Chain A
Amino acid sequence: MDKARPTAVTLDNATVAFRLADNRVYTAVEQARLAVEDGEFVAIVGPTGCGKSTLLNVAAGLLKPVSGSVRIFDAPLTGLNRGAGYLFQADALFPWKTAIDNVAIGLEIEGVPRRDALQRAQVWLASVGLGAFGNRYPHMLSGGQRKRIGLAQVLIRDPKILLMDEPFGPLDAQTRQIMGNLLLELWNADRKAVLFVTHDLEEAIALADRVVIMSAGPGARIIGDWRVPLPRPRDIMEVRLDKEFHSLHREIWSVLKTEVLKGYEQSSQAPAAGP
């Protein structure tokens, strides 16, 4: 990695805590240190409820850490991270806008004339394979199609950083693989910095340059960081058959497993684990 370039996302000892309804303080993430280089695809994996999404929201500027700092391209982050695109886990499309309007909106609010915005949106719709679906409303599309629209909606603004919160979580296994390949294909075109949160270790290894493991919450920490030596471009379905994939998977899983079990125990014991 070229060190002269600024680091896309830097979390420096970031601690995130929430005040619960009964006034107790719940520490979601403790002293997280993480650097995502420009052009790097980093996946964060951890047990359910460990604060992976919290970390992403911090990088997006939607949440402020109580201590520690966030730097975006070496500049401290104040307010929202304007240079980042965020693909949410839940449905985030505007249900009252057609697919093409959903994609074009990011340009329109920047002041791009509507005709130009629609033209460019049509190009993006085509590149996510939905060129003929521009006039559909979100409820008329399948879950996978809605994710594609969401991807186009985010990418049309050409963000420097892509934040993804289990974006393919609600999809079925086959659709996930297809979406994963689509994502890699689009990412390969200009290699943005990506921070990709998932609970699926296989997905993480198949997609990312680096896999970061978080411990079970509360007070989750980053406990491991592996480089994925698999060559690019990759095909998600084929890369899973690779020998190196398996040995890396085994190695990371040996660490992750104990955390997953811990997280499972905690979530089955404490009913109010936090937000």
Chain B
Amino acid sequence: MSRVMLLALQVLVAVVGLALWQLLATVPIFGRTWLPPFFFSNPVDVGSQIVDWFASGVIWKHLAITLWESILAFAIGSLGGVTVGFWFARQPLVAAVFDPYVKMANALPRVVLAPIFTLWLGLGIWSKVALGVTLVFFIVFFNVYQGVKEVSVTVRDNARMLGMSERQLMRHVYWPSALSWMFSSLHTSVGFAVVGAVVGEYLGSAAGLGYLIQQAEGVFDVAGVFAGMFVLSAFVILIDIAVTLVERRLLVWRPDAGEARA
């Protein structure tokens, strides 16, 4: 199927969906409105709310806050994950000792930590960053750990026979292998950074997309809730596109990343 055709069909799905929504929410069929406006709002109201946000400029501040929280959560979580992942992979004893605690911490639904972080770090951005970090950290940690462990024995022996010292092995073998694993989970970890930020905002904050949605919900402004959701989706898609571009650049040497997407 040609690209144009595919795009046309994709747009068609959106148009049909929105039209159905508008129809069922505004025009009574068999004497009944199937999507009561109080619960479902309608696309026109949601659209005008979004336009309103962008026209008045209020949305930028919230977007910026959410973006900033996501970036911080991703950066700090990745840094921690890389460091600890590397350390554990090179020190099997440490890894063995901490193994049950790592599993325990990872099994914990991170949302329950939100109140604690709010208590510790206040209602500002840092409690949201902390929540995002707990999500990002484990994904990066497990991937880096795996990446260091999975270096092929032949490649490692070859590196040693070529005369690499322990430090050079780190730099030329373990580090690139670990990073490639980390990059291959970039979509997941960046996604979780956003989740952490938005959920944190939703649970208690003064700004951000999560805050916007929560405020609208508080006054039964369903159009506002839907508008917040659409803006959030668009925001996530834009970030995902950015990640794909970065990934394509960083993983050129990988058969699947390089060929399938080129």
Give A residues with C-beta under 8 Å from B.
60, 62, 80-82, 84-86, 88, 90-98, 105-106, 109-110, 137-140, 153-154, 157
Docked pose: A106 CA to B176 CA in angstroms: 17
Segment from B6-14, B150-158, B201-209, B238-246 that makes contact with A: B150-158
B20 CB within 8 Å of chain A: no
Binary contact track B162-192/A, C-beta < 8 Å → 1, others 0: 1111001000110011001000000000000
- CB < 8 Å: which of A84, A86, A97, A153 contacts B157? A86
Which of the residues B157, B165, B172 comes within 8 Å of A94, measured between beta carbons? B172
11 sample A-B contacts, Cβ–Cβ < 8 Å, listed by A number:
A80-B161, A82-B163, A86-B161, A94-B173, A94-B176, A97-B172, A97-B253, A106-B163, A139-B258, A154-B162, A157-B163
Known contacts: A94-B176, A96-B176, A105-B172. The answer to whether A86 contacts B158 by CB under 8 A is yes
Q: Between A and B, how many residue pairs show CB distances below 8 Å?
A: 68
Selected from B162, B177, B180, B253, the residue in CB contact (under 8 A) with A106 is: B162
A137 pairs with B258, CB closer than 8 A: yes
Task: Decide: A139 and B154 in contact? CB cutoff 8 A.
Answer: no
For B158, give its contact among A92, A96, A109, A139 (CB under 8 Å).
A92
Q: Are A139 and B180 in contact (CB under 8 A)?
A: no
Q: Tell whether, in the assembled complex, residue B158 and residue A88 are in contact, meaning their CB atoms are under 8 Å apart.
A: yes
Q: Which of B157, B168, B172, B253 contacts A88 (CB 8 A)?
A: B157
Interchain CB contact under 8 A, B254 and A95:
yes
Q: How many residues of B contact A (CB 8 A)?
A: 24
Kindly list chain A residues whose C-beta atoms are within 8 Å of the C-beta of B259. Answer: 139
For the complex, give the distance between the alpha carbons of A4 and B159 in Å: 34
Bound Cα distance from A90 to B156, whole angstroms: 12
Nearest 10 CB-CB pairings of A with B: A92-B158, A139-B255, A137-B253, A86-B161, A96-B176, A90-B154, A106-B162, A92-B154, A96-B253, A109-B168
Q: A137 vs B155: C-alpha distance in the bound complex, in angstroms?
A: 15
Point out the residues of chain B lying under 8 angstroms from A95, CB to CB. 155, 253-254
Contact A91 B253 (CB under 8 A): no
Q: Specify the chain B residue showing the minimal Cβ separation from A80.
A: B160
Q: Is B252 an interface residue (CB 8 A)?
A: yes
Contacts of A105 in B (CB 8 A): 162, 172
Q: A interface, by DSSP: helix, strand, loop or mixed?
A: loop
Least CB distance from B81 to A in Å reads 20
Q: Are B161 and A84 in contact (CB under 8 A)?
A: yes
List chain B residues, Cβ under 8 A from A137. 252-253, 258
Given contacts A94-B176, A96-B177, A139-B254, contact A153 B162 (CB under 8 A): yes
Q: A81's closest neighbor in chain B, by CB?
A: B161
Query: A70 vs B173: C-alpha distance in the bound complex, in angstroms?
Result: 29
Whether B163 pairs with A139 at a CB distance below 8 angstroms is no
* Residue of chain B at shortest CB distance from A92: B158
A62 contact set on B, CB distance < 8 A: 157, 160-161
A86 contact set on B, CB distance < 8 A: 157-158, 161
Chain A residues contacting B258 (CB-CB under 8 Å) are: 137, 139-140
Smallest Cβ-Cβ distance to A138: which chain B residue: B253
Q: A90-B154, A139-B253, A139-B259 are in contact. List 15 more A-B contacts (CB 8 A).
A: A62-B157, A62-B160, A80-B160, A84-B161, A88-B158, A92-B157, A94-B155, A95-B254, A106-B162, A109-B162, A109-B163, A109-B172, A138-B253, A153-B162, A157-B163
Query: By CB atoms of chain B within 10 A, which of A94, A98, A106 has the most?
Result: A94
- Contact indicator B161/A60 (Cβ below 8 Å): yes
Chain B nearest CB: distance from A249 CB in Å?
A: 31
